[in-house]
Structure 1
Amino acid sequence: MTSSASSDFGPLVLGGNVFGWTADESASFAVLDAFVEAGGRAIDTADAYSMWVDGHTGGESERIIGAWLSARPGMRERVSIATKVFAKPDRPGLAPANVRAALNESLERLQTDYVDLYYAHRDDPEVPQDDVVMTFGELVAEGLVSRIGASNFSADRLHSAVDVAKAHGVEPFTVSQDGYSLVHRDIESGLVPTLKRLDIIELPYGALQGGFLTGKYRQGATVDSPRAGKASQLLETPRNVELLDALQGVAEGRDVSMAAVALAWLRQQPRVAAPIASARSVEQLASLVESFDLVLSEDELARLA
Structure 2
Amino acid sequence: MKKKQLGKTELYSSPLIFGGNVFGWTVNEKDSFDLLDEILGMGINDIDTADVYSRWADGNSGGESETIIGKYFQQRGDRDKYIIATKVGSSMKPDGDKDISKDHIMKAVEDSLKRLKTDYIDLYYTHWDDEKTPVEETLGAYQQLIKEGKVRYIGASNLSEDRLKASLQASKEEGLPKYEVFQPEYSLVQRDKFENGIRDICMDNNLGVASYFSLASGFLTGKYSSVEDVKGSSREMFLKDYFDERGKKILKALKDISDHRNISQAGIALRWIMQRPGITAPIASVTKSKHLKSFKEAMENELSKEEMENLNQASS
Q: TM-score under structure 2 normalisation?
A: 0.91
**2:157 aligned residue (148, 151, 154):** 151
Contact 2:227 2:240 in 1 (8 A): no
Gaps of 5+ in 2: none
Q: CA offsets per residue over residues 217-272 of structure 1, 9 Å max, x none?
A: 11387479954313542453111011101011112222211111111100111111
Equivalent residues in 2 for 1:12-31 (5 A)? 12-31=16-35
Report if aligned partners of 1:217, 1:223 keep a CA contact under 8 Å in 2: yes
Q: What one-letter code is carried by the residue in structure 2 that aligns with 1:4?
A: Q
Asked whether the equivalents of residues 159 and 198 of structure 1 are also in contact (C-alpha less than 8 Å), the reply is no
**In structure 2, what is the Cα distance between the partners aligned to 1:64 and 1:224?**
31
Greater Cα shift, 76-85 or 6-15: 6-15
The worse-fitting range, judged by mean Cα deviation, of 52-61 and 137-146 is 137-146
Q: Distance in 2 between matches of 1:57 and 1:210?
A: 23
Residues 24-103 of structure 1: pairs in structure 2 closer than 5 A = 24-74=28-78, 76-89=79-92, 92-103=98-109
The one-character-per-residue Cα deviations of 1:25-67 (angstroms, maximum 9, x if unpaired) are 0111111110000110000000000111222111000001111
Is the 2:5–2:13 contact (alpha carbons within 8 Å) kept by the matching residues of 1? Answer: no
Query: Would the aligned equivalents of 1:213 and 1:258 in 2 still touch at CA under 8 Å?
Result: yes
CA contact (8 A) 1:203 1:275 kept: yes
Please report the TM-score for the alignment, with normalisation by the length of structure 1. Answer: 0.94
Contact 2:128 2:157 (C-alpha < 8 Å) held by counterparts: yes
Alignment of 1:1-305 (within 5 A): 4-5=5-6, 8-74=12-78, 76-89=79-92, 92-186=98-192, 187-219=194-226, 222=229, 227-230=234-237, 232-305=239-312
The letter for the 2-side match of 1:206 is F
Amino acid in the other structure paired with 1:12: L
AA aligned opposite 1:182: L
SS at match of 1:52: coil
Contact 1:179 1:204 survives alignment (8 Å) = yes
> Cα gap change, 1:232/1:95 in structure 2, threshold over 3 Å: closer, same or farther?
closer
- Structure with greater contact order relative to length (CA < 8 Å, sep ≥ 6): 1
Q: What is the aligned-residue RMSD (CA, Å)?
A: 2.1
Q: Which moved more, 1:269-278 or 1:214-223?
A: 214-223
- Give, in whole Å, the separation in 2 of the partners of 1:225 and 1:71: 39
Offset from partner CA, 1:178-210 (integer Å, 9 cap, x none): 110000001101211111111112101000000
What is the alpha-carbon distance in structure 1 between the residues aligned to residue 293 and residue 310 of structure 2?
Answer: 24
Note the C-alpha offset of 1:98: 1.2
Fraction of identical pairs, as percent: 38
Letter in structure 1 aligned against 2:86: T
Q: Residue type of the partner of 2:51? A: D
The question of whether the paired residues in 2 share the 8 Å contact of 1:20 and 1:64 is answered with: yes
Evaluate the alpha carbon distance shift between residue 119 and residue 226 of structure 1 in structure 2; reply closer, same or farther with a 3 A threshold: farther
Distance 1:263 1:177, change over 3 A: same
Distance 1:158 1:116 in 2: 21
Mapped partners of 1:198, 1:228: distance in 2: 35
Q: Secondary structure at the match of 1:58?
A: coil
CA apart distance, 1:116 = 0.7
Distance (Å, rounded) in 2 between the aligned partners of 1:287 and 1:170 = 40
Classify the secondary structure of the residue corresponding to 2:270.
Answer: helix
Cα deviation 1:117-172 (Å, max 9, x = unaligned): 00000112221211011111222232211110010001121111011112121220
